[in-house]
Structures are given as structure tokens and as C-alpha cells.
Structure 1
Amino acid sequence: MFGRTVAVAGVSFSFESGQVVGFVGPNGAGKTTTMRIMATVEEQTSGDVLIDGVSVCDYPEVGRRCVGFVPDSLPGHGDISVHEYLDFFARAHRLDRSVRAEVLNAVEEFTGLTALREKTLKALSKGMKQRVSLARALIHDPGVLILDEPAAGLDPRARVELRELLLSLAGKGKAIFISSHILAELTEICSSVVILERGRVVTQGPIEQVLRATTQHRRFAVRLLQRPPHDEYERLVRALLQMPRVERVQVQPQEVHFEVAGDGSVACDILEQLMADGFRVLEFRQTRADLEDVFLRVTRGEVS
């Protein structure tokens, strides 16, 4: 609680080694508070966090050995070099001098920081600072990684590189718990998802199961042979909306998306009718729902 404001209430979920779990919710839903409690950065007013059956709330020193935390703020010590910054945290984790250099070299190599180890933090791009933040969280080889909006503000290449690093870590058996507003990317890497609103879990589970449970209709996309003029888009939308069992028609830059209540035969009838109406259909395909669809269906944008 923050004064009379209840930030998180009745939140319960679990995950295992090797899983990548997405933590999703509107701004103000309580995600950061939950993650900071899990990382022993903040104290809870009630409840508990267990790692391998041990309470990290009662024994925070155990939690700090087991958890690597990447907060939403980036390293701010401008005049220190990358290597000095990481070395400080290696000492804080009491790594023995005999292994410290080896650990730092391994972490810097894994996160792509070897060539930047002598650069000051203030000279780094946001993407490189995010790598430093991840390297810091990996120094003590934790079994659980908690990342709060690690891709915020990164360019597309940096996001892809971060995603590959996280998948590699999950492949090594680490449990990864990650919040992000870039929901399409979470769909690609997560095995499970927890969706929070107003400090409470509104849905959770394996991502395919959540997608099936919240998106009952089939989704399709249709693209015409040439980029049609605006009025042709309007004609296509009108034609789709007049067809039985078609719902939620949306115009995208290169195609039109829509949902169908029914089986594959209904989609075949729709395609046949579009061609009979004179539309030169270049592509007609079924598309997969993603976390953005689920998020919009199960949340209302309310905050605590």
C-alpha cells in the first residue's frame, strides 16, 4: 500500500525454470510494485514471495542471491566505466577475487560489452546501457531474472538482440519474468503470461491457452493485387461487414483484417464472394491472435 492506495492485492501466480513469463497490464496496474517486491527492493504489507519454497520476504538475502533484477531505470553513474561498474557489483555480491575476473569477462562477452568495457556509462546509447543493466543482473548467476520494461525506448535492432539474449538465457534454464508494452514481441518469446489490472490478476496461464480462451473467433487478412485507392478499401470493408458472421473489420496499411464466427467453410464462402464481387484478391490468410488482442479484451485501462 502507498498511503490509502492499494497497489497490489490478491496477486498469485507461479512459474518455473526455463520459462519466459510476460507480465502485462495498463500503466498504474501494479506491475513495477509487484516486481520490486519480488526482487526484495520494496517490502510488502502482506503476502509472500517464494523461490524454491523459501520466503524471500522473510529471508531477503536468499532472494538477492536467487534473483537478478533489471529495473526500468538505466545505470546513471556517468563517469564510471562499464567494467568498473560491473566490477563494483561483483564485489558487492562478494565474488571471490580468484573468479571475479573470469565471471566479468564471461558476462561482458555474453552481453556484447567486451569492446565497450572501458567506455563510460554516459557515453553509451540507451541500448548499450540496457545491456549493462542486464550484465549487472547476471553477475551472481541468479536462477530468476526479473526485467521491468527492458525494451522501452530501444530501436528495432536492439530489441531483437535483447530478445535473443533472453531466449538464450531461458534455454540455459533461467526463469525469466518480463514486463513490456511491446505485446507483439512478448507473444513471440513468452511461454506464459500474467495480465494485471488495478493490482489484481485478470487472467494468466500458458500463452496459447490464454489466446484460445479470450479470442473465440478466427482471424483473417485479405490483401488485394495492387494497393487500392481509398474508396476501394471502403468498398472492401462494406462488403465484409455485409457478410454473415464477419466481425471487427480493421483497415491496415497494406491489407484488411477481420474476424469470423464459424469454421473454415465460412472463410471459403467469404473468399468466393469477394472474388465474385470483383475484388482482385492476391492473399487471403488466417492470422494468429496475439497478446495485444487479449490485452484489449480483458482490461479496461483502469488504474488503482
Structure 2
Amino acid sequence: MHEQGKKILDANAKVELAIGDSSAAVNEAGAAQISIGNKTHSHATRELGSASLPAVHVRSEDCIEIRRLYRFFGETKAVEDVSFTVKRGHVFGYIGPNGAGKTTSMRILATLDLPSYGDSFIDGLSCVNDPELVRRRLGFMPDSFGTYRDVNCREYLDFFARAYGVTGAERNRRLSWVLGFTGTEGMASKPIRGLSKGMKQRLCLGRALIHDPSVLILDEPAAGLDPRARIDLRRMIRDLADQGKTILISSHILTELAEMCDSVGIIEQGKLLATGSVEEIQDQQVEKRELAIRVLERSNEAAAVLQALEHVGEIIIDGELLRFEFAGDMREQAELLALLFARGFPVAECTSHRQSLEDVFLQVTEGLVQ
């Protein structure tokens, strides 16, 4: 084996062990061998031409950056020209069906795989060129737990603390904090084989936190959890963001991502289709929204006034409530309400129905999801 390739494979194998998936180390080593050196990058150059990447420049408020990322598996493009940034201290939701490219790009960020083209950055450090420095700053929670039947929770966390080089009093302090934060302190001496799915996920999150990283990459952390466990996980993720940690999280539970994330990215068939805050993506995709205005008196007259306005669709009158589609922006909505007040109509409330994140996801991926 080429000496440079051997060094990179050894490093990848160590990280595979440190994330608790030692059974995948051999398979990943084989995959990584294809990705190193000039062979894969030469293939990428044939596909993409001779364009070179711009010089690295990450703004101070951006903690994570993925730039023009490609990953080929044979002729399959698992990730194709994906670029986005995540601001420091924000939670970014990565949305897409199985096989969309989420896990592949997250593994590249976690330095467990190499891109065919492009790069990703943590705090301005290249995940390709500076993997050791990147690993000190991030914690990775994979979508599978691994098999640890003969160790208890504290031994499990202690193993990973040692793997990350946490020693002495600091290791004991980190162990105590992680057990307390994840709510597993009462099970510290309990064998892992006896844990529920929810408790295993808590422990897996604790493993990602044991070295106090500034960045967390969480791959489907809520998969298979009951409603109570999902609520607890959501609370922990928001608490971590409030502590200043930057979090990239993938999930199929879109309603929960909408509640916990500052911004989201929608990926399908390896391509990033939309990115931004939930509200921004909703505004990009939705030209109209439904307004419901409650007028306590003379609702029929109010409906006639509104019906004459631009951007107002057909009005449905339900007693005091007027419902209609509105194609204007927020300023035009304010002008509409001001007109009603100026005409002396007693407006009691106005509500606006926006599409859910699930609705937006289906609209963005329409015609693509298989």
C-alpha cells in the first residue's frame, strides 16, 4: 500500500474506532483508499473541468462551510456541487429522504470520508487538509450505535474520553458533566446492553460531547425514539446551542426540525435544492398564504372592501370570520389592515396560515423524490 495512503487509512480507522463503529473501519478503509491521492481527484477533474477552488475565506460568524462538494461512488454522484454555511451557535437542519446525500456529506465533514472534489471547513480549518485539528473541534453522532454489550455507561464514555486525549481531573469532570447533562448518571454502572433505544441515543450524544467540542454533527439522532425521548433530545440540542455550540442535524421528523433549527437545507439526489431559515424557504416557495380576519361588526361590508383590493382572492365569509388567499407581502398586509381600521371596522384579530416545513419539502422536491 502506498505510504501516504496507509497513513490516511490508519487515521480514518482510529476515528472509526472513536465514533464506536469499529466494524465499519475495514470497509471505510477500502472506500477511503479510492478517495486519496490523485486518482479520484483526477476523475473529478475530468468530470468538472480544470476549475480550481477559490482561496479559503470563512467569515468569523460562519463556523461550518461546505464548498462545492462532490462525492462519486463509481459513476454515482452521491453528492453533487453542494455548498452552504452554518453560523456560529446556530442549529442547521439537513433534510432529505434516504439516499439523498445527507450522511455522505456529514461523514466528509466529520473527516471520515474524503470528497471527490471540493472541501468542507470547521472554524476555517480544512476537513481534507487538517483532519486532526478539525477532530478536536467536533463531535460526531452517527446513525448507528455500534455494539458494546460488555461495558457499562461510564466505561463507555471513559473509553472515548481517553481516545480523545482527555486525561486526569479533566476527564473525571467531563464524565460527570456528560452523565448529568444527558440524564444517564443514574445508569453509569449499568451495562449498555440493558439500555432502551432512548437511553442509548442519550449515551451516544454524550460520547460526541465528551471532549467538549464546539461543533456537533448529529446524523438522525431522533430515529426510533418515542415522543417523550424526542422532546428530551430537542431540549438538549437547544441547550447546547444556547451554550454556543454549532450543530448540524439530519432528521426525517420535519416538524421537530422546524421547531429547533435556525436554518435548514433541503437535499435530494445529491443536490442542495434550498437553504435558509424556515421562514425564508417558505417565502421562496409560497406565493400566496391564507389570511383569516375577524371583524366583529359589518363583516359583509368589510368583505366587499377587501374584495376590491389587489392581491386578495375570493373571500369566504363565516360569521365574523373572513378567509381568503393573499398574494401580497407583509407591508401590503399591514396596509390592508390599516384600511379596515380607517373605515371604522372593528377588527379583533388577523391570523396568517403558512405552509409547514413538510409542505415546503414536498413542494421543493416535487418530481424528484422517488
For Structure 1 versus Structure 2, the TM-score category normalised by the shorter chain is: 0.7 to 0.9
* Higher relative contact order structure (alpha carbons within 8 Å, sequence separation ≥ 6): 1
Match of 2:203 among 113, 132, 140: 132
Taking the aligned partners of 1:262 and 1:59, their CA distance within structure 2 comes to 49
* Residue aligned with 1:83, SS: helix
* Equivalent-residue separation in structure 2 for 1:174 and 1:192 (angstroms): 15
| 1:260 corresponding residue in structure 2 | 325
Compared CA separation, residues 220 and 293, structure 1 to 2 (3 A)? farther
Kept in 1, the 8 Å contact 2:93–2:251? The answer is: yes
Counterpart amino acid of 2:243?
Answer: K
Shift of 1:301: 6.3
SS in 1 for 2:81: coil
CA contact (8 A) 2:108 2:127 kept: no
SS at structure 1 position matched to 2:85:
coil
Distance 1:80 1:262 in 2: 60
- CA–CA distance in 1 between the matches of 2:366 and 2:249? 21
Instruction: Measure, in 1, the Cα distance between the counterparts of 2:268 and 2:102.
Output: 9
Summarize the Cα distance change of 1:303–1:207 in structure 2 as closer, same or farther, 3 Å threshold: closer
User: Tell me, what secondary structure is at the counterpart of 1:141?
Assistant: coil
What pairs up with 1:101-180 in 2 under 5 angstroms?
A: 101-180=172-251
Question: Counterpart in 2 of 1:228?
Answer: none
Aligned counterparts of 1:120 and 1:176: Cα–Cα separation in 2: 29
Matches of 1:92 and 1:286, distance apart in 2: 52
Is 2:254 the partner of 1:188? no
- Structure 1 segments (4+ residues) deviating >6 Å: none
Deviations 1:194-241, CA, capped at 9 Å, x for gaps: 1111111111112221111112221479xxxxxxxxxxxxxxxxxxxx
Instruction: Give the root-mean-square deviation of aligned CA atoms.
Output: 2.6
Equivalent residues, number: 258
CA distance, structure 2, for counterparts of residue 71 and residue 301 of structure 1: 30
Specify every segment of 5 or more residues in structure 1 that has no aligned partner in the other structure, as ranges.
222-243, 247-257, 269-283
Q: TM-score, normalised by structure 2?
A: 0.65
Q: How does 1:1-304 map to 2 (within 5 A)?
A: 1-219=72-290, 245=313, 260-262=325-327, 286-300=352-366, 302=368
Distance apart, 1:9 and its partner CA: 1.2
Q: Is the 8 A contact 1:28 1:303 kept in 2?
A: no
User: What SS does structure 2 have at the residue aligned with 1:15?
Assistant: strand
State the alpha-carbon separation in 1 of the partners of residues 324 and 97 from structure 2: 25
Structure whose alpha-carbon radius of gyration is higher: 2
Relative to the length of structure 1, the TM-score reads 0.78
